[in-house]
Amino acid sequence: MPEDFPSLRESLLAARHVVIFTGAGVSQESGIATFRDRTEGLWARFEPQELATPEAFDRDPALVWAWYEWRRGLIAHAKPNAAHRAIARMQQCLPRLTVITQNVDDLHERAGAENVLHLHGTLAAARCRRCHRPWQHSQVQPSAAAPTAPLSPPDCPHCGNHIRPGVVWFGESLPMATWEAAAEAATDCDMLFSIGTSSLVYPAADLPHQARQRGAMVVQVNPEPTALDAVAHQSLRGKAGDILPTIAGLCVS
Ligand code: BV8
Ligand code: ZN
């Protein structure tokens, strides 16, 4: 377990506003593959980034829809882990804590976190690819078993085009209001924890830089080195599920 917790404790107890910024690594211990994990089965020949684009969906909607429905099933069968629960506890005991996530799962919310900013949308939402009308997933829980064949997306009842996942694909803009709220939090906070992200996807990955530039303490939690190592004041090497409960324990004076 790493080094300088007394200074972390002091900073946490003195902080007016803390930001928790998470990526796929915070859900890894819930059994949700990270974005840098290799795909398998139907999608073994693809990198996730190749599937998470409007072009991939337009080229083969059934292949991409099957991938998202499989992931939606994994999430429905997954449980929040110790890291999600610790973050929700921190939000309860600190004066102000903003949770910003790149993840499209609802595990932060299911652990009790509130007002989570989803920079890249959520898998719970779906909408028409053309007329953008929201579309409600059926109540039937999707299976967590990886489909063995492509799965055609439903058709929009209004215009007949394909329904698509309610996520932000590569090459698509982030939801403006969510992005602005995240940037406001990053430039206002006294501490920003970057947890379980390779810090490669922009503009999300810029948030810790913005926080640092405005004088916030930036702390990273990741078992591996990342592009943020050069910027973070502290990089705590380890799994989020191991480290976050300790950090949450520092919050109680
Ligand atoms: C946009 C939803 C502009 C879909 C995702 C500069 C500026 C702006 C844009 C760009 C730019 N440079 C390049 C771009 C384009 C692009 C981009 O960033 N590309 C990258 C690959 C270079 N960005 C975009 O396209 C964005 N849009 O910029 O629009 C624009 C403006 C006007 C008009 C049109 C367009 C949109 C990006 C959003 C893409 N959608 N997700 C889906 O989920 O299917 S991003 C996707 O990657 C996921 O959200 C994921 O969360 C995210 C980032 O990955 P990570 O979360 O970091 O996950 P990863 O697997 O990489 O890393 C996991 C980490 O966890 C690892 O470090 C690992 O060590 C660690 N870990 C593992 N286990 C644990 C752990 N840590 C702790 N505990 C553990 N147990
Ligand atoms: Zn439509």
pLDDT per residue over 52-92, tens digit each?
999 999 999 999 999 999 999 999 999 999 999 999 999 99
Distance CA 21, CA 120 (A): 13
Residue 65's nearest CA partner among 121, 137, 2, 159 is 137
Residue 227's nearest CA partner among 191, 201, 189 is 201
Residue nearest to atom 21 of ligand 1 (CA): 201
List pLDDT tens digits, range 100-150.
999 999 999 999 999 999 999 999 999 999 999 999 998 777 888 888 889
Under 8 Å between Cβ of 18 and 43: no
Under 8 Å between Cβ of 191 and 214: no
Ligand nearest to the Cα of 154, by number: 2
Atom of ligand 1 nearest to the CA of 36: 60
SS3 helix, strand, coil % of the chain, rounded to 5? 40, 15, 45
DSSP run (H or E) holding 157: none
Atom of ligand 1 nearest to the CA of 22: 56
Q: What are phi and psi of 241, to 5 degrees?
A: -65, -20
Distance CA 222, CA 20 (A): 13
Residue 21's nearest CA partner among 121, 129, 130, 98 is 98
List pLDDT tens digits, range 93-109.
999 999 999 999 999 99
